[in-house]
Structure 1
Amino acid sequence: MKRHPTDGRQLVVHDFWAADHPTAAAMLAFLGRHHSRIPTVAFERTGLPPGTLLHRLGKGGAAAARAWHPWMLRVLDPCRAVELRGWPEGADAEIVLDLVAADGSSTDRYTLRVGGGRGELRPGGGTVDVTLTVGQFAVWYAGGYRSAAAAALAGVCGAPAVIARLLATVGDREPWLADYF
Structure 2
Amino acid sequence: MATERTPGGRQLVVHDFWAAEARDADAMLAFLGRHHGRIPTVLFERTGLPPGPLLQQRLTGAGIQAARSWHPWMLRVLDPARAIELRGWPEHLDDEIVLDLATPDGTSRHTLSIAGGRAQLTPGGARSSVDAADVTLTAGQFAVWYAGGYRSPAAAALAGLHGDSTALTRLLAATVDREPWLADYF
Which range, TM-score by smaller chain? 0.5 to 0.7
Separation (CA, whole Å) in 1 of partners of 2:124 and 2:50: 35
Post-superposition offset of 1:172: 1.7
State the identity %: 66
Alignment equivalent of 1:158, drawn from 141, 160, 163: 163
- Structure 1 stretches of 4+ moved >6 Å: 24-27
Aligned length: 128
Map 1:30-179 onto structure 2 (within 5 A): 47=49, 69-101=71-103, 103=104, 105-125=105-125, 126=127, 127=131, 128-179=133-184
Distance in 2 of aligned mates of 1:24 and 1:98: 41
Per the normalisation by structure 2, the TM-score is 0.61
Q: 2:152 & 2:74 partners in 1: Cα distance?
A: 20
User: Between Structure 1 and Structure 2, whose CA radius of gyration is higher?
Assistant: 2
Indicate the RMSD between aligned Cα atoms, in angstroms: 2.5
Matching residue's letter, 2:112: L
Q: Give the secondary-structure state (helix, strand or coil) at the position aligned to 2:113.
A: strand
Cα distance in 2 for partners of 1:48, 1:131 equals 30
Matched residue of 1:180: which SS?
A: coil
Q: State the TM-score, normalized to the length of structure 1.
A: 0.62
Paired with 1:115 and 1:25, the residues of 2 have a C-alpha distance of 45
Q: Which runs of 5+ in 2 are unaligned?
A: 1-15, 26-45, 52-69
Shift of 1:70: 4.0
